[in-house]
Amino acid sequence: MQKIIDSLSLHASALALRSRRNNILASNIANAATPHFKARDFNFEEALNNTTGRGALKVTHSSHMMNGNSKTAELGYRKSLNPSYDGNTVELAVEQMEFSENVIRYQTSLEFLNRRISGLKSAIRGE
């Protein structure tokens, strides 16, 4: 059973992070006209590596020190290419592009997960 969970966990983690990023980007777009609003985002690849444990050092002995990786996405501020006079750092074109790309990647992760589940169902049925 653990092998099934392990085979699905990467895509499930990617879906959860993509969903969280969609919410953050949607918030940026919704606040495009709010004075002094600072656009937020996180590095998806780094967050996925931290969430799944890929790329992180493993503690194999009691005298080893932890590497300090957090298990959540580090939310940061996006640097504005064209700063506005009211202090808002949201650039609508950039946010819309990031949102569209993230939605497509979300759909792709969902398709990978669906295919993985279909393959496991076929294997269980002996097809």
Instruction: Annotate 49-116 with DSSP letters as a single string.
Output: HHHH-TTSPPP-STTPPP----SS---EEPPPSS--TTS----HHHHHHHHHHHHHHHHHHHHHHHHH
Pick the closest to residue 40 from 3, 107, 95 (CA basis).
Answer: 95
Show pLDDT as tens, one digit a residue, over the chain (127 residues).
777 777 788 888 999 999 999 999 999 999 999 999 999 999 999 999 888 776 554 556 665 544 444 445 689 998 888 878 999 999 999 999 999 999 999 999 999 999 989 988 898 898 7
Euclidean distance between CA atoms 29 and 49, whole angstroms: 27
Residues 6+ apart with CB under 8 A from 40: 24, 27, 28, 75, 76, 77, 78
By residue range, what is the domain housing residue 70?
Answer: 2-125
- Asked if residue 55 lies in contact with residue 49, where contact means CB atoms within 8 angstroms, the answer is yes
Q: How many domains does the chain have?
A: 1
Tokens, residue 125: 């049925």
Backbone torsions φ then ψ of 97, nearest 5 degrees: -65, -45
Kindly report whether the global pTM for this prediction surpasses the value 0.85. no
